[in-house]
Amino acid sequence: MEILETVFIRNNLIVAFAVVGVTIWFSYFLADKLTQGRIHGSAIAIALGLVAAYFGGTATGGNSGLADVTLLGGIGLMGGGMMRDFAIVSTAFGVHLSELKKAGIAGVVSIFAGVIVSFIVGAAIAVMFGYTDPAAITTIGAGAVTYIVGPVTGEAIGASNEVITLSVAAGLVKSILVMIGTPLVAKYIGLNNPQSAMVYGGLMGTTSGVAAGLAATDPKLVPYGAMTATFYTGVGCLLGPSILYFVVSGIF
């Protein structure tokens, strides 16, 4: 047992490759047999990943899901920001510039629209729950933008720790829902071409959510959605503690 543990921990990234590989094989098997291919295998794999993350998180009390389980620490490296960004950039290989240009303006508009709309929705819900302090309303609104914009904004404008934690949770809910919801709604929102994928990426903005959501819908759309989504958090961090906070302070 101890030998096994040593080997697993020493080779954690390799263990992660094996575990993820088996999970994906199993997911494609389920997609094929149970749903006759109606649900994408990758959508099932991502959903299984999220379920495993929930149990990993509750079992260890950590905040990196399955990666906090000692024997599966390599999942953290394999699915961490560095590998994620590397793989996202590689999907741009073979993309045609003309496709990007076609949706250029709509893509840029969607980033700003996405940040502002998510912020307004989040802030309105904070108000509905009885918050009256502008810093708290702004921070929760920023959390609905992404779980990075929430704490960055909250710390900049001096929101309480409790509110900052709430904003992170709101951002996490958003990111997870985008992962699961995208393949389900894709047909109804016209998400089947590069242009709408760029608009979608700009509106949703959560890099993880968009990356997984498009992977489960149509991997060909990934580079377009990811391209705009990666600007979103930066724009959110720019607007949150400045203009958006001033506007909220003016109202409350």
Q: How far apart are CA 214 and CA 222, in angstroms?
A: 6
How far apart are alpha carbons 106 and 113 in whole angstroms?
Answer: 10
Exactly one of 31, 39, 49, 138 binds other proteins (CB under 8 A); which one? 49
Site for other proteins in 76-105 (CB under 8 A): 76, 78-80, 83-97, 100, 102-103, 105
What residues between 222 and 241 interact with other proteins by CB under 8 A? Answer: 222-223, 226-231, 233-238
Interface with other proteins includes 243 (CB under 8 A)? no
Q: In which element (H, E) is residue 56 found?
A: helix 41-60
CA atoms of 247 and 252, how far apart (whole Å): 9
Applying CB under 8 A, which of residues 15, 110, 134, 154 lies at the interface with other proteins?
110
Q: What are phi and psi of 34, to 5 degrees?
A: -85, -40
Q: How many residues bind other proteins (CB under 8 A)?
A: 127
What residues from 174 to 213 belong to the interface with other proteins (CB under 8 A)? 174-179, 181, 185, 189-196, 198-200, 202-204, 207-208, 211-212
- Judged by CB under 8 A, the chain residues 29 through 48 that form the site for other proteins are 41-42, 45-48
Contacts (Cβ under 8 Å, ≥6 apart) of 198: 100, 103, 106, 107, 110, 224, 225, 227, 228
- Reading the block at residue 248, the tokens are 């909220």
Residue 129 makes contact with other proteins by CB under 8 A? yes
164 is an interface residue for other proteins by CB under 8 A: no
- Comparing CB distances to other proteins, the nearer of 114 and 134 is 114
